[in-house]
Amino acid sequence: GQQVMQIPQYQHVQEGEDFTTYCNSSTTLSNIQWYKQRPGGHPVFLIQLVKSGEVKKQKRLTFQFGEAKKNSSLHITATQTTDVGTYFCAERDDKIIFGKGTRLHILP
């Protein structure tokens, strides 16, 4: 069935280091969405990418959609303690399929 695979599952970084999570699919994605869920919280929508090769930035966050629309990445520059949480990618077609998420832990 339709699946989006996310790697890594966990990531520990020192505060100030960069962080990247990847989302991959064996089939072409119609779009990709990214969400952040803080510990004990609920998912919060970050962004949606639709076009092949699209790149969007939100402050220290950079989102990319692959040329073949089969992968996407979220890159955080100079992580801060407020970046802690789980980052999910998801494809929305008639249903929404979430990846398993990457849990980011920041070491002070």
Partner 1 sequence: KAGVTQTPRYLIKTRGQQVTLSCSPISGHRSVSWYQQTPGQGLQFLFEYFSETQRNKGNFPGRFSGRQFSNSRSEMNVSTLELGDSALYLCASRERTSLNPSSYNEQFFGPGTRLTVL
Judged by the rule CB under 8 A, the positions of this chain that interact with partner 1 are 1, 30-31, 41-45, 48, 88, 90, 92-101
Minimum distance, C-beta of residue 35 to partner 1, in the bound complex (Å): 8
| 98: its two tokens | 């979430």
Nearest residue (CB) to partner 1, 48 versus 77: 48
The distance of Cα 91 from the centroid of its chain, to the nearest Å, equals: 11
> For residues 49 and 30, what is the distance between their CA atoms, to the nearest angstrom?
9
Nearest residue (CB) to partner 1, 17 versus 105: 105
Minimum distance, C-beta of residue 43 to partner 1, in the bound complex (Å): 5
Nearest residue (CB) to partner 1, 5 versus 78: 5
Task: Classify residue 82 by burial, with Cβ atoms within 10 Å: 0-12, 13-18, 19+.
Answer: exposed
31 Cβ neighbours under 8 A, 6+ residues apart: 48, 49, 50, 91, 92, 93
Nearest residue (CB) to partner 1, 94 versus 108: 94
Minimum distance, C-beta of residue 20 to partner 1, in the bound complex (Å): 20
Minimum distance, C-beta of residue 22 to partner 1, in the bound complex (Å): 16
Residue corresponding to tokens 């339709």: 2
